Structure 1
């Protein structure tokens, strides 16, 4: 007869635990009961039921702690995500500013080269030839390729034939490369 009561008390405790677990699905706030459950009234003389109730209570407390830890981690992740988004936006704006600066620098460089070409176009061919022969051949060829064709022809005519051949070869290779 005593085993029947023990079995019934265990079944009642399991039923209560299942109901408690179901209530967690309905209401997500899980709170552990530190006090003894009214379900155990009259069952305090059954040590197995008391041990089971105590185990369930401790597990409830552990679940509460785990949920609190998850909430804390969720908040930490949200804060980290916000920091990452802020940093990403800062990097995007820095990249855009760098692109703008590079564009301005490139435009300034192109403008400077255009002025340099205009200077060579305006120079006398003999003076331009003297200066171009002192420059590195690839740079001199770049200038000759960009000056007006008539001015370029007059300048090349003033250069030593050996150097003129080198400059012309550089100009041809530049055009073949697609620059």
Structure 2
């Protein structure tokens, strides 16, 4: 039986001949396959890193949106408080006698005075304007008239 196995091996060896370069080509294909496997693993790592970075970025964006909403609420509260303060001052100036209010308005910056007078009842504002020096009254009038000069027109 040993002779039969030797004979089979010999016949197989005779039938398994390779052309020149096939083994070199196989070696190159295997090397190339190894390089491609390494590159594929590197790309998978990069894809994972990008996915993690995207998740972190989405989380930061959501945190910023939440912070922006909180800030908007705080600003709204502050604006409401400031508006309430200005409204109280307007009411206070309206209820003052013109002789008491005029000296205050004379010392105010014209822009500031124009803001208050523009919000006051016309009769109260007119009484104060009448008591102001002509230069101060003119400056405040120009500011009040020009406040909406750059507003879009229909």
Q: TM-score range by the shorter chain?
A: 0.7 to 0.9
**2:60 corresponding residue in structure 1:** 87
CA–CA separation in structure 2 for the residues paired with 1:59 and 1:119: 88
**1:61 corresponding residue in structure 2:** 34
Indicate how the Cα distance of structure 1 residues 177 and 147 shifts in structure 2: closer, same or farther if over 3 A, else same.
Answer: farther
Superposition pairs of residues 1-179 of structure 1, within 5 angstroms = 42-43=16-17, 48-178=21-151
Q: CA deviation at 1:173?
A: 1.8
**1:23 corresponding residue in structure 2:** none
Provide the alpha-carbon RMSD of the alignment. Answer: 2.0
Q: CA deviation at 1:82?
A: 0.6
CA–CA separation in structure 2 for the residues paired with 1:146 and 1:112: 13
CA–CA separation in structure 1 for the residues paired with 2:42 and 2:148: 68
Q: Secondary structure at the match of 2:147?
A: helix
Q: CA deviation at 1:87?
A: 1.2
Q: CA deviation at 1:76?
A: 0.7
CA–CA separation in structure 1 for the residues paired with 2:64 and 2:91: 40
Query: Structure 1 stretches of 5 or more lacking a match?
Result: 1-40
Write out per-residue CA displacement over residues 139-162 of structure 1, whole angstroms, 9 at most, x where no aligned residue: 111111111111111212222233
Q: Secondary structure at the match of 1:113?
A: helix
Runs of 4+ in structure 1 over 6 Å off:
none
98-107 vs 135-144, which deviates more? 98-107
Q: CA deviation at 1:46?
A: 5.5
The TM-score normalised by the length of structure 1 is 0.68
Query: Structure 2 stretches of 5 or more lacking a match?
Result: 1-14
Write out per-residue CA displacement over residues 70-115 of structure 1, whole angstroms, 9 at most, x where no aligned residue: 1111111111111111111112222222222222222222221111
CA–CA separation in structure 2 for the residues paired with 1:175 and 1:67: 65
Q: Secondary structure at the match of 2:21?
A: helix
